[in-house]
Amino acid sequence: MNNQIKNNQLPFNLITWLISVVPIVLIFSNAIADIIVVTASLFFLYDSFKKNYWKWLNEPWVKISIIIYFWLIIVSLFAYDKELSASRAIPWIRFIIFSASLQFLFLIKNNNKKKLMIFTIIALIYVNIEMFVEYFTGTSLYSKFRVEFLNLGSFEGGTQRVSGPFKDAPKSGIFLAYFLFPIIFSINKLINKKEIFNKSTIIITLFLITNLFLVYLSGHRASILSVAISLSLIISYLLIINKNYKTIFLIFFLFLSSTFFISNSNLDKFNQNIINKTYSEIKNYSESAYGSLSLTSFKMFKANPIFGIGIKNYRVACEKDIYLSKGHMGTGYGVSPWKGHYNIGLKKYYEATCSSHPHNLYLTWLSETGLIGFILFIFFLCTLALKIIKEKKYVYKDLIFIGLVASLIPKLIPMMPSLNFFSNWNAICFWFLIGWTLSYLPVNKKS
């Protein structure tokens, strides 16, 4: 009997450790992170089957997610590239099961949450080091290792961005925006088990200042805005709900502001690259790059209102004549919708109408899954929000939970630019945080 228990516990413990290192794995390999997601999902299904425990399917968010899953498969039947859409739709269920496995199995125990906190802290510290190395030397340590030992190409963010250990420059800022705030409060919890912001105050302050600066160095405006919104939400929460923190966080915020803006050169750079550029794009949104992609998305939705164009099909459909801009249409050979074009006849510059995706969460759902898919996704978000609000008396005092929610909210703001929701890396980050967040909520009585 004891051997049987040990045999059952061994794979569970192993997968729990693998889940804990997902934030580290995401830095280096999407494929390995995805393998962990699939492994955890399969084990959860095996465990549910063995224990005949399927009540987790009664969770409202799980039900609506499964409906969305079947809709994505139906959408694939009407996609421009049916094979491409189906290749994304059919295995998409792994993310639903993975989040459920975190909520109902792997992160139930506080010790498992603690492992995850520790490894995520390590991941953030490593990214911090790599970004500083690139900032001062021009190349990250991992990039140098790839060149010298693996004979692979180097990568760096360029003159305007610091990518750290990531091949794609924006990912450094996005990664920090996803994991910074739950980890800030994880550090506090690991250092002070009962006291709040006592011994850990200095460490947390320095860590937060460092990461805010690095998000700025990433040059990714969406991440900078995302972190600013998350920080504002957390400060508002601490001032309103936990009035004991008022003085320390006012000083805290003033210290952050004075530290960041003390240099005039940094202020000028911030104004030029972030504020002015963002303001200009919002003011002239219809003529901006994002506006052009948004218009293309609406054209796709208008032409395919029910089923959309299919998952990951934006890059395929955007080359069709029906979706070209007025300036690109009929201009002949050599003019690509993937690039901006100055139309001599119309005497106007037109931004590219093609990209790998719409760069907006809701337009992705609207254009690629149609009105029904869009409504289902909105309903999914409402289901999560209602669950969190319903259980507020249990979790509103848990700062790690607050950090997780504050990190997710900016990703769901309608006008916020985003990565492709159906890309593996972004999907793993999103569903990982969803599962982690839900693990703090009490389980539905029916579940």
Report which of residues 392 and 164 the model is more confident about.
Answer: 164
Percent of the chain predicted with pLDDT > 70: 83
Report which of residues 445 and 10 the model is more confident about.
Answer: 10
Q: Using DSSP, state whether 179 is helix, strand or coil.
A: helix
For residues 103 and 438, what is the distance between their CA atoms, to the nearest angstrom? 5
For residues 295 and 286, what is the distance between their CA atoms, to the nearest angstrom? 8
Return the structure tokens found at 121: 């802290």
The DSSP result for 191-248, as a single string, is H-SSSSSSTTHHHHHHHHHHHHHHHHHHT-HHHHHHHHHHHHHHHHHHHHT-GGGHHH
Q: Using alpha carbons only, what angle is made at residue 162 by residues 256 and 206, rounded to the nearest 5 degrees?
A: 25
Helices and strands: H and E segment counts in the chain = 20, 2
207 HSE (CA, 13 A, CB side): 22
pLDDT tens string 324-346: 877 777 655 557 777 776 677 66
Domain boundaries, the chain: 118-283
Q: In this structure, which amino acid lies at residue 119?
A: F
Distances (CA, A) of 40 to 47, 50, 53, 103, 271: 10, 15, 16, 12, 45
The distance of Cα 330 from the centroid of its chain, to the nearest Å, equals: 38
Output DSSP code: residue 144. H
Residue 99's pLDDT band (cuts 50, 70, 90): very high
pLDDT of residue 262: 47
Report which of residues 294 and 255 the model is more confident about.
Answer: 294
Asked if 422 and 312 touch (Cβ cutoff 8 Å), the reply is yes
Distances (CA, A) of 148 to 136, 145, 152, 163: 19, 5, 8, 19
Is 60 exceeded by the pLDDT of residue 427? yes
| pTM score above 0.75 | yes
pLDDT of residue 194: 52
